[in-house]
Structures are given as structure tokens and as C-alpha cells.
Chain A
């Protein structure tokens, strides 16, 4: 699980071009949107595609993303439970 969290942090930084952020700076429970990393709706779409492409999880309702992308901790738990690859 902790390996998955580190992997997710690295992917978030790379895919969302967070040039000034390092893996060590993202805490497992940091909010990804709003006051935390400050991600926005376009980033949410990028993360939805990442879930599908890398973990085989297709979100039928994009609104589900709100809960799933709350933090790296929540994301990792969801992926562990639902991943198909």
C-alpha cells in the first residue's frame, strides 16, 4: 500500500506537471483539491484517465471522483479495492 501511495504521488507530479512539488512534500492525507495541492477540474479529468489507463478502473460517474480524489490515501485505498490491472 505504501508503495502504491509513492507511485501515485510520482504519477500525479508527472502527469499534472507539478514542477515545484516533490514526492516528499505530498503527505498521504493532504487534500488534492482546494487548499492542498490546488488541483482543478482539468486535473480531475487527467486523474480519471490515469485510473482507467494504469489501473483499469473506469469511473461511470465523474462525480465519484470528488470522493476518490480527496487525498493520496483515499485514492490508494480505492485503487487497491477496484483495480483490474
Chain B
């Protein structure tokens, strides 16, 4: 089986991450329970004629994929695989609202066409004239990991050489209201540094796009080697530690080999216990980092966790703002990313320095 490498990547998030030359050097402070992406100048990347029908999620996905492709210095790929939990919410809401407002008449085609979950992958393919495998995984908080796993298997079996894989979510006004009403969004403002200690229910909701070019040949610019990806729809809290140990064992990695763990804490008092039990026990002496205080929570934000892990492996630096503890780590060789959302859809991503 071939090895799999993350050769390039791009992130559009609530922080200034779309410039690959920076690594969380400047932090944007937020205190609202819903935060939007820090936008690049989309016009630099997308022609006005193409952009006029694109809602924000499509623009973020198209631009993040272009930045990743540029960094990999390749024109096309053998597959485009995306993950999205909620899909193109803005056009979905627009279309459904039009149905209600106009009494099921006068329905226009644009928002319908652009509302499907696979619109982003389709628009990326149209932009680069790529007729290869094009697939979108819609699987709540493991949508991105499902896409990544598909890419990994194709590359390992040499069915593809280079694959563009990514996750994208956009905030829709009505959906956000619904999530507020059911307490999935924090009821009050919370500052970045206070998020983990907020002691309130719900998360800070956000949007963003993270794309990666993964290949079975290592480029000089390589960020990380992708060792393993595993997902679980359901996993009891008390079983997480032993499942991690078993996952590592299957990949010939010992617990002590994990130099750093990227945790998906989002400050939800009801569900951060899934992470805290690891911080206090099996990863007590391991360097722990978190990121949702910077970029919020959404169904594919775990792709930002993979972006962060890959960046740390390549640069061998850990931004102070993401540290939960400090173990004075001298070298980062192996990273485990663990994420779950509301106690469901757990994912493990194992990465190594390349």
C-alpha cells in the first residue's frame, strides 16, 4: 500500500488563515456566539460572471481549493471529495422561503440549483474542468473525515495520485435561529479566552472551508503524512480512552508516541467532558491543543484541526493561543486529532511528521 501525504492546504476561517505564509500570528477577537469567516478578496480568485450565483459557502470552497491547488503547483486532480454537514444553507433557505412566501409559485432556478450539498465540489470541478471522481459526504460532524478516508483509501491503493479533499460550511440566518432556539448555540456572549470556562450549554457557531491536496507521492512542501482516519457514529464517553488506545495499536503507535493531541473542546458544558477525561488521564502528560475558541464550531471544523496539526508538524511550532497545557515539547513527530459533536460522530485522525 502507498503512503499518503498532505502536500498542500488552505483554510478560510474566522481567523486570518487563508494566507499560508501566516500561522495564527494575529488573532481576531470575537465575543459573539455566532462568528463569520474572515473573507479573502473573492474577486481575486473568481470571475464576476461565475461569482454572481455563488453564495458564501461556494465562494469559500472554491477559493480555498484554488489556494491549495496553487500551493501544490498542480493544475488538476484525480478526484475531488468534499464533506459538508449542512451544505449550501443560504440558497436552501432562500429557495424554501420562496416556496412559502410565494405560495408554491414563481420559483426561480438559481437558488434551487445552488442549494444542493454537492454544489461546492461541482463548482470546483467546473472551475478546473475536472471530469474525474466527484463526491460529497454529508455526515454531520464526520463529513470531512469521511471524505478524507475515501481519499486515503484511493491513494493507498494507487487508484489516484492527487486528490483534492476538503470540508465546507456556511451560516444560514434561519438555521442559526433554530440552533439558538434549541440551545445548540451559546445563549450569551463569551470571549475567546473564556470559552472553555463559560460553563454554559451550546457552542459558538461558525463557518469556513478547509481544503487539502493529498497525494501518494511526497512533495518537498509536504506538511504531514496521513497515517489513519477512523470514525464512529456512536461512542460512549467511558469507552473513548480504550477506543483511542485500540486505534493507536492498530496503527502500531503507542500512547507514549503521541507528542501532541488536538482536541475539539467547544466550551459546551454538557459535552466537553468527552475531552476533559482525556486531558486528565491518558493525555495528562501529553501536549494538548484546542482551536474552537478561535474558529468556532461547525460540522466540518475538525478539518481546521487537521489544518492546525499539519501546520504544527511542518513548522514545528505551537502557537501559544492554542495551548491547553505546556510540556516544553522539543520535537513534534506524531499528532492525534480527536473530535466529536454533542457526544456523537467521533473521529480520530493520526498524522506524522514527513
A residues in contact (CB < 8 Å) with B: 15-20, 38, 42, 45-46, 49, 52-53
| Residues in B whose Cβ lies below 8 Å from that of A17 | 52-53
Q: Chain A's nearest CB lies how many Å from the CB of B56?
A: 13
A49 to B102, CA, bound (A): 11
How would residues 109 to 137 of chain B score, 1 for a CB under 8 Å from any chain A CB and 0 otherwise? 11001000000000000000000000000
Q: Which residue of B lies closest to A19 (CB)?
A: B52
Q: Would B48 and A46 count as touching, CB distance under 8 A?
A: no
How would residues 36 to 77 of chain B score, 1 for a CB under 8 Å from any chain A CB and 0 otherwise? 000000000000110111000000000000000000000000
| Residues in A whose Cβ lies below 8 Å from that of B108 | 15, 45-46, 49
* B235 interfacial by beta-carbon distance below 8 Å: no
Q: Chain B's nearest CB lies how many Å from the CB of A75?
A: 17
A17 to B51, CA, bound (A): 9
Q: Which residue of B lies closest to A48 (CB)?
A: B108
Q: Which residue of A lies closest to B113 (CB)?
A: A42
Q: Which 9 A-B residue pairings sit nearest by Cβ, starting from the closest? A: A17-B52, A53-B106, A45-B109, A49-B108, A46-B108, A49-B106, A20-B48, A42-B109, A19-B52
Q: Chain B's nearest CB lies how many Å from the CB of A77?
A: 23
Q: Chain B's nearest CB lies how many Å from the CB of A10?
A: 16
| Residues in B whose Cβ lies below 8 Å from that of A53 | 102, 105-106
A20 to B48, CA, bound (A): 8
Q: List 21 A-B contacts (CB under 8 A).
A: A16-B52, A17-B52, A17-B53, A18-B52, A19-B48, A19-B51, A19-B52, A20-B48, A38-B49, A42-B53, A42-B109, A42-B110, A42-B113, A45-B108, A46-B108, A46-B110, A49-B106, A49-B108, A52-B106, A53-B102, A53-B105
A45 to B113, CA, bound (A): 12
- Beyond A17-B53, A46-B110, A53-B106: 18 further Cβ-contacts under 8 Å? A15-B108, A17-B52, A18-B52, A19-B48, A19-B51, A19-B52, A20-B48, A38-B49, A42-B109, A42-B113, A45-B109, A46-B108, A46-B109, A49-B106, A49-B107, A52-B106, A53-B102, A53-B105
A53 to B53, CA, bound (A): 21
Which of B51, B102, B108 has the most chain A CB within a 10 Å cutoff? B108
| Residues in A whose Cβ lies below 8 Å from that of B52 | 16-19
Q: Which residue of B lies closest to A52 (CB)?
A: B106
Q: Please, how many residues of chain B have a CB less than 8 angstroms from a CB on the other chain? A: 13
| Residues in A whose Cβ lies below 8 Å from that of B106 | 49, 52-53
Q: Which residue of B lies closest to A47 (CB)?
A: B108
| Residues in B whose Cβ lies below 8 Å from that of A42 | 53, 109-110, 113
| Residues in A whose Cβ lies below 8 Å from that of B102 | 53
| Residues in B whose Cβ lies below 8 Å from that of A15 | 108
A46 to B108, CA, bound (A): 5
Q: Chain A's nearest CB lies how many Å from the CB of B118?
A: 18
Q: Chain A's nearest CB lies how many Å from the CB of B300?
A: 26
How would residues 82 to 109 of chain B score, 1 for a CB under 8 Å from any chain A CB and 0 otherwise? 0000000000000000000010011111
A15 to B106, CA, bound (A): 13
Q: Chain A's nearest CB lies how many Å from the CB of B84?
A: 22
Q: Which residue of A lies closest to B49 (CB)?
A: A38
Q: Chain A's nearest CB lies how many Å from the CB of B91?
A: 12
Q: Chain B's nearest CB lies how many Å from the CB of A18?
A: 6
Q: Which residue of B lies closest to A45 (CB)?
A: B109
A9 to B125, CA, bound (A): 33
A52 to B49, CA, bound (A): 25
A16 to B218, CA, bound (A): 44
Q: Chain B's nearest CB lies how many Å from the CB of A66?
A: 17
A1 to B103, CA, bound (A): 30
A15 to B53, CA, bound (A): 10
Q: Which residue of A lies closest to B54 (CB)?
A: A17
Q: Chain B's nearest CB lies how many Å from the CB of A78?
A: 18
Q: Which residue of B lies closest to A21 (CB)?
A: B48
